[in-house]
Structure 1
Amino acid sequence: MLDILTMIRGLKRPALIVRAARCGVDCYARNIDLRRLLGVDVVPSPGEALMDLMEIERDLNDLRRGADASYGVAAHVDVLIAIMGEARLLQGSAEG
């Protein structure tokens, strides 16, 4: 299985969406944002959260690429912010 951080590095998304997410990642509030995005009461570990977020992001990207009317760029940016925030946590725990 591919390492989750390698999977994240391999994502190719439009530059504007990625830039918007980078601008928001410093305001990422894990306990609030993950509960809302994942619909959970108990926040999972960064690895578990990333797997769930990657699935949500893949679905959003499929909608984007298919020009589906239900696609929302704000929701996509929101999920990418969470992915970036969780990746930071996971990377920090791996280094320390």
Structure 2
Amino acid sequence: MPAAAALTRPATESTPNTPGTRRPRLLITAARHGMDDYRRQRDLPRLIGPGIPKADVTEVLAALEERMETARRANDPGWSCLRHVEVLIALLSERALRAE
């Protein structure tokens, strides 16, 4: 691949447990680094609001992340990189907790 082509294509990586879903490597790497600081009681209400049953948390987070990814790809000015990373941190952490 020519060097110029490598610069124009962002590196992507699959999100764990979601085959075929590709996200920029930088988003996934940032989320993985943030997983150590994830605290369910503190972070979930801020991200998705109170009152979501524990069983539904990953589905709610996955839907929220999908909407954020759609906004990112559409270059929506309302898209927030920080918020997207926070949701990915929560999603990856909740999936890791569920797998234990």
Identify the structure with the greater strand proportion: 2
Give the C-alpha shift of residue 9 in structure 1: 4.4
Which stretches of structure 1, 4 residues or longer, exceed 2 Å deviation after superposition?
A: 8-11
Aligned equivalent of 2:56? 48
2:68 corresponds, among 60, 79, 82, to 60
2:17 is aligned with 1:22: no
CA RMSD of aligned residues (A): 1.5
1:82 corresponds, among 69, 83, 90, to 90
| Distance (whole Å) between structure 1 residues aligned to residue 36 and residue 53 of structure 2 | 20
5+ long unaligned stretches in structure 1: none
SS in 2 for 1:13: strand
Taking structure 1 as reference, are residues 61 and 54 closer, same or farther at Cα in structure 2, changes over 3 Å only? same
Give the C-alpha shift of residue 78 in structure 1: 0.2
1:38 corresponds, among 40, 48, 53, to 48
Measured against aligned partners, the alpha-carbon deviations of 1:16-55 in whole angstroms (never above 9, x if no partner) come to 0000000000110011111111111x4531x410000001
Measured against aligned partners, the alpha-carbon deviations of 1:50-95 in whole angstroms (never above 9, x if no partner) come to 0000010011000000001001000000000000110011100xxx
Relative contact order higher in (CA < 8 Å, ≥ 6 apart): 1
- Whichever of the two has the greater Rg, that structure is 2
5+ long unaligned stretches in structure 2: 1-15
The TM-score with structure 1 as length reference comes to: 0.81
